[in-house]
Amino acid sequence: MKTTEAQNLDPFAEQREKNKEIIKKLEEFLVKEISPKSLALAIRRYNFHIADAVMRDTDNQLIVKEHLRSPFYWLNDLAEILDPYIYEEDVRLDL
């Protein structure tokens, strides 16, 4: 693969271009398929059910918990980006 002069000056140029395309596709998805608020709600519900299943799986035969740890946090972070709830200033969680 040949590198352009711009890529030699900016090693992240190619990734930046890919990111632009990803952002464009995400914008289209959030307009045509589901609203950000609805997607955030779906992610939160999904994560709740996954966490519930993991806690109930005492034999650890059905679920590989290590495979769920990072995606669980990433999905929560994505839900917060789409529709802030947990980290909003007016929401206080008494944990």
* Statement to judge: residues 24 and 58 lie in one domain: no
Tokens standing for residue 8 = 């030699």
Whole-angstrom distance, CA of residue 5 vs CA of residue 14: 12
* Statement to judge: residues 66 and 29 lie in one domain: no
pLDDT value at residue 68: 82
Do the Cβ atoms of 14 and 7 come closer than 8 Å?
Answer: yes
* Statement to judge: residues 67 and 80 lie in one domain: yes
The residue range of the domain holding 11 is 1-33
Average pLDDT over the chain reads 83
* Statement to judge: residues 55 and 43 lie in one domain: yes
pLDDT value at residue 1: 46
Residues in the chain predicted with pLDDT less than 70, given as ranges, are 1-8, 58, 60-63, 87-95
pLDDT value at residue 95: 45
* Statement to judge: residues 89 and 55 lie in one domain: yes
Whole-angstrom distance, CA of residue 58 vs CA of residue 69: 16
* Statement to judge: residues 21 and 45 lie in one domain: no
Domain count, the chain: 2
* Statement to judge: residues 49 and 86 lie in one domain: yes
**Helix, strand, or coil (residue 57):** coil
Q: What are residue 66's phi and psi, to 5 degrees?
A: -65, -30
* Statement to judge: residues 61 and 20 lie in one domain: no
pLDDT value at residue 2: 53
Who contacts 76 (Cβ-Cβ below 8 Å, separation ≥6)?
A: 43, 44, 47, 86
Which strand (E) or helix (H) includes residue 53? helix 36-56
* Statement to judge: residues 46 and 83 lie in one domain: yes
